[in-house]
Structure 1
Amino acid sequence: MEQVRAETQAEASAERLLSPAEVAEQFGVDVRTVARWEHDGRLTAIRTLGGHRRYLQREVLVLLAARAKGTA
């Protein structure tokens, strides 16, 4: 588990992270919906040192593309 977390954090340092508000804006949904997607496993949240959620831009773009195709 710790190895997976370290790999996720390493990926995050090389990629842009989005706040829940930024993700919600891109989808036109409420931030609570973004949190629900995280709980459902659609998105993976990375926690900042302050405990705030951030999302990998790559994952958000994949979900946006799936939604555009009607598969999300």
Structure 2
Amino acid sequence: MHANATEEDVLLTPSEVAAMFRVDPKTVTRWAKAGKLSAIRTLGGHRRYKESEVRELLGGFIPAPREAAE
């Protein structure tokens, strides 16, 4: 695990973060590459995201509900 991570940190997969924001998991990866979200790499090279940071970012971004076409 990353040096700054504590045992209390809950790590989320890109798919879990994507579901929270209602976006594609590749969008989450692009956010990480752009520095909007910090990623922790597993030993296998997979990205994981701190739940606390994701929830903080989510607080400033609340997706509008989609309306059905008339």
Q: TM-score, normalised by structure 1?
A: 0.76
1:42 matched to which residue of 2? 36
2:15 matched to which residue of 1? 21
CA RMSD of aligned residues (A): 1.2
Rounded to whole Å, the distance in 2 between the matches of 1:27 and 1:49 is 26
1:6 matched to which residue of 2? 3
Identity of paired residues, percent? 52
Any gaps of 5 or more consecutive residues in structure 2?
63-70
Higher-helix-fraction structure: 1
Any gaps of 5 or more consecutive residues in structure 1?
none
Q: TM-score, normalised by structure 2?
A: 0.78
Higher relative contact order (CA 8 A, sep 6+): 2
Aligned length: 61
